[in-house]
Chains A and B, each alone.
Chain A
Amino acid sequence: MEKRVTFKGWLLPMLLLLPQVIITAVFFFYPAGQAVWQSLFIPDPFGLKSQFVGLGNFEFLLNDPFYRASFLTTAIFSTLVTLVSMGVALFLAVLADRLIKGSGAYRTLLIWPYAVAPAVAGVLWLFMFNTRVGVVSWYLGLLGYDWNHVLNGNEAMGLVVVASAWGRISYNFLFFLAGLQAIPRSVIEAAAIDGARFWTRFRTIVFPLLSPTTFFLLVVNIVYAFFETFGVIHTITSGGPQQSTTILVYKVFSDGFVGQDLGSSAAQSVILLFVVGLLTVVQFKYIERRVHY
Chain B
Amino acid sequence: MKLKTLLGTVASSLALATGAYAQTEIQWWHAFTGRLGDLLAEQVEQFNASQSDYRVVASHKGNYSETLNAGIAAFRAGEQPHILQVFEVGTATMMAAGGAIKPVYEVMGEAGATWDPDGYIGPVKGYYTTTEGDMLSLPYNSSTPVLYVNRDLFTQAGLDPDMDLSTWQNVGEALDGLKAGGVNCPLTTAWQSWVHLENFSAYHDIPFATKDNGFGGLDTELAFNGPVQVQHIQAMGDWAQDGKFFYAGRRNEGGANFRGGECALFTESSAGYAGVKAQAEFDFEIRPLPYWEGVDGAPQNTIIGGASLWVMQGHEAEEYAAVAAFLNFLSSSDIQAAWHQNTGYLPITMAAADQTKAEGFYDANPGTEIAGMQMMGKAPTGNSKGLRLGSFDQIRGIIDEELEAVWSGSKSAEEALGSAVERGNALLRRFEQANG
Q: Which A residues form the contact surface with B (CB < 8 A)? A: 42-48, 51, 53, 60, 64, 66, 131-133, 150-152, 238, 240-243, 254-255, 257-261, 263-264
Contact = CB atoms under 8 A, between A and B. Distances in A.
Contacts of B257: 132
Contact of A240 (B69, B400, B423, B427): B400
A258 B393 contact: yes
A134 B368 CA distance: 33
A116 to B, nearest CB: 22
B75 A46 contact: yes
Given A131-B248, A261-B391, A42 B408 contact: no
Given A42-B433, A60-B430, A240-B250, A151 B93 contact: no
Contact of A263 (B93, B402, B434): B434
Interface residues of B, number: 37
Contacts of B247: 150-151
B408 A241 contact: yes
B401 A242 contact: yes
A258 B404 contact: no
Interface in B246-302: 247-250, 256-257, 262
B408 A152 contact: yes
Given A132-B248, A240-B250, A150 B93 contact: no
Contacts of B400: 240
Contacts, number: 86
B426 A64 contact: yes
10 contacts: A44-B434, A46-B72, A46-B76, A46-B97, A48-B98, A60-B426, A66-B423, A150-B247, A255-B394, A260-B391
A60 B391 CA distance: 16
A292 to B, nearest CB: 48
Given A44-B435, A240-B250, A264-B430, A151 B408 contact: yes
B394 A47 contact: no
Nearest to A262: B434
Contacts of B430: 42, 60, 261, 264
A142 B130 CA distance: 56
Contacts of A255: 394
A44 B390 CA distance: 11
A238 B401 CA distance: 11
Contacts of B99: 46, 48
Most A CB atoms within 10 A — which of B247, B402, B430? B430
Contacts of A263: 434
A264 to B, nearest CB: 7
B170 interface: no
B218 to A, nearest CB: 12
B355 interface: no
Contacts of A45: 72, 93, 97, 434
A32 B421 CA distance: 34
B366 to A, nearest CB: 29
A247 to B, nearest CB: 15
B261 to A, nearest CB: 12
